[in-house]
Amino acid sequence: SNLAPRTSYLVPRDLSVSRDELMNTAHCTSAIVKQLIDKQFLTTYQKEVSRINTTLDTTLSPGNHYHPSPLSPAQQDAYNSIVLQWMSKPVVLLHGVTSSGKTEIYIHLIQQAIERGEQVLYLLPEIALTVQMRERLQRVFGSRLGIYHSKYSDAERVEIWHKQLSAKPYDIILGARSAVFLPFQRLGLVIVDEEHETSFKQQDPAPRYHARSVALVLARQFGAKTLLGTATPSAETYYNASPHLHPVLTPGESSSTPPSCEGRVQAGGGPKYGYVALTQRYQDIELPEIQIVDIKDLRRRKMMSGVFSPTLLVAMRQAFERHEQVILFQNRRGFAPMIECPTCGWVPHCTNCDVSLTYHKALNMLTCHYCGFTYRVPDRCPNCESEDLRGRGFGTEKIEDQLMELFPDIRVARMDLDSTRSRQAYERIINDFSNHRTDVLVGTQMVTKGLDFDNVSVVGILNADAMLNMPDFRAYELAFTMMAQVAGRAGRKHRRGLVLLQTKNPDHEIVRQLVANDVNGFYQNLMEERQAFRYPPFSRLVYVYLKHRDEQLLNTAAIEMASRLRQLFSTRVLGPDKPAVARVKTLFIRKIVLKLELSLNVVQVRQCLREVQRQLLADKRYNALQVYYDVDPL
């Protein structure tokens, strides 16, 4: 037949191909392939094909790889100190400034663990970080490396799970928070990189857990060593690792300072964790220069170009002339947080949630970022019929839009939840920026999380005040860490970086500490404030949330539950109150706060909460009431 010449080459060579590959190669239909099978020209069989090979570059076998780069003297000192402190403390904090080369230390520690026959878990807070880190680790460890995170399909993740249970599991697992639940056989080292990141906390849906805390428990079960790495430690980790916060007690004394919620102070009063400081940037690169730009005065004098100050525009233009790159940070996605009718003040709100709708210009839609519902943008105000509807505030989409107007020849990429729905989108954005196929990266907190770009010379923080003014006791901590981290993306090789921080409050203490790089002063003030008001790490918080469609019934239930809790925990119970967003997905919400001493037994507290909930839900009025808990909330 005419098909014979196209398929005969398969037979003498005894080749096997997939059905799809044969149809593409021979340019035939499935009906023709079926005829060949019926005539016994071809035979069919099922073959198990690994999906993992499609997600990883396996060209590097365990015996075909590069050796780790030699450590600098400062890195070697840090490495030696980590190994030494592990002899007495299983958990060590590596507090290294941005671009100090912490990753290279990790690689050397991983290599030593593998040579001892141990497995390694390497946790990252953001899926985007696995793109860059995968390339670095594969160059050294080849196919010993496995990747695991939620952007892989269920089938791919199941296959990695089964491989971890096989006789030849991966020696290294690199992944986001969910990787902490993979099975291990001989775990010897756990690395939690950027340990301060709130992304390690799973908020919704349940189970609600902090991957750092789970990693510590996992390491303890295996007797493994744990390394927490960051340039800006979380308050809990800083407390656990800082010697000056734990004075050594003489016999008979007692400490007035309670232990942290992720560890207990040792008997001598010393810190729970080991502490290693790495204060020198790799290759002696200078820390970036941080300049404050007072946009309140600039707006009054009408000198702003959209969201950009003249100082930032000049710095960006000079960077483009030198063929260097720019990162712009605004921790809000979309085009505008809301639209408003300036005539009557009407603002569109979600019908399911108590929030205003965010305007997305690319889709010309209004979107609720809580329930996901979308609405068409009205042609006119439904309240007064005015056609003058204006966006208020700005998000990453608006920054991208204004950049294209101001610099029409530059290439802009945007990195936020809307632009990174798939694994391929993450990789494309990061690879394009790494290879200088884009000039500006505009992003939310995704761009603050340890990404390493050699050619970035300017970083713009477009609205520092939004972070500083959040109604949360962690606001200053989160603002400082986010701004310090994104500032650290600037100036990696041949030139000192420049960070421009736009704010209406240039004299704010946090802004001044950031400019002066006064990390110790920031943490000292933070600890004094937390201790004075009994907030973590000097207490433990539990948020109790109640939800119901009937607001009046919800109020009654919340008051009753708070009363029952006060019988057990007295003044430690606060509320009930409305949270910042008091209705989501048509359910009204109330919050009760438990501020507990760290000496309280966690198991007994949990039993008390369960019993109170059981008693409350025994009332048939509350059959539809939803109750859930957020322990150590972020």
Residues 6+ apart with CB under 8 A from 238: 93, 245, 523, 527
Claim to verify: residue 32 and residue 103 sit in the same structural domain: no
Residue 381 lies in a domain: no
Claim to verify: residue 17 and residue 156 sit in the same structural domain: no
Q: Give helix 127-141 / helix 423-434 axis angle, nearest 10°.
A: 70
Q: What is the pLDDT of residues 122-171, one digit of tens each?
A: 999 988 778 788 888 999 999 899 999 887 888 888 999 999 999 999 99
CA 487, CA 498: separation in Å to the nearest integer? 8
Whether residue 468 contacts residue 476, with contact meaning beta carbons closer than 8 Å, is answered with yes
Furthest-apart CA pair in the chain: how many Å? 98
CA 267, CA 274: separation in Å to the nearest integer? 15
Q: Which of 191, 188, 61, 215 is nearest to 114 (CA)?
A: 188
Dihedral of alpha carbons 163, 169, 174, 178, sign: positive
Q: What is the pLDDT of residues 510-569, one digit of tens each?
A: 999 999 989 989 999 999 999 999 999 999 999 999 999 999 999 999 999 999 999 999
Q: Which of 556, 568, 565 is nearest to 592 (CA)?
A: 565
Number of domains observed in the structure of the chain: 4
CA 334, CA 442: separation in Å to the nearest integer? 12
Q: Which of 189, 196, 171, 172 is nearest to 90 (CA)?
A: 189
CA 142, CA 9: separation in Å to the nearest integer? 35
Claim to verify: residue 190 and residue 320 sit in the same structural domain: no
Residue 345 lies in a domain: no
The per-residue pLDDT for 445 is 85
CA 142, CA 62: separation in Å to the nearest integer? 6
Q: Which two tokens stand for residue 578?
A: 């409305």
Higher pLDDT, 81 or 5: 81
Q: Which of 444, 213, 498 is nearest to 334 (CA)?
A: 444
Q: Taking 70 as the threshold, does the pLDDT of residue 269 lie above it?
A: no
Q: Taking 80 as the threshold, does the pLDDT of residue 1 lie above it?
A: no
Claim to verify: residue 15 and residue 143 sit in the same structural domain: no
Dihedral of alpha carbons 233, 235, 241, 245, sign: positive
Claim to verify: residue 43 and residue 177 sit in the same structural domain: no
Which CATH number covers residue 224? 3.40.50.300
Q: To which H or E segment does residue 77 belong?
A: helix 73-86
Q: Taking 60 as the threshold, does the pLDDT of residue 287 lie above it?
A: yes
Q: What is the pLDDT of residues 456-495, one digit of tens each?
A: 999 999 999 988 988 889 999 999 999 998 888 887 567 7
Claim to verify: residue 420 and residue 569 sit in the same structural domain: no
Q: What is the pLDDT of residues 189-241, one digit of tens each?
A: 999 999 999 999 998 888 889 999 999 999 999 999 999 999 999 999 999 99
The per-residue pLDDT for 262 is 43
Which pairing describes strands 338-340 and 390-392: parallel, antiparallel, or unpaired? antiparallel
CA distances from 103 to 87, 106, 110 (A): 22, 5, 10
Residue 183 lies in a domain: yes
Residue 127 sits in which domain range? 64-252+262-278
Claim to verify: residue 130 and residue 231 sit in the same structural domain: yes
- Final residue before a domain boundary, out of 479, 501, 530: 530
From 126-130, 365-369, 574-578, the region with the lowest mean pLDDT: 126-130
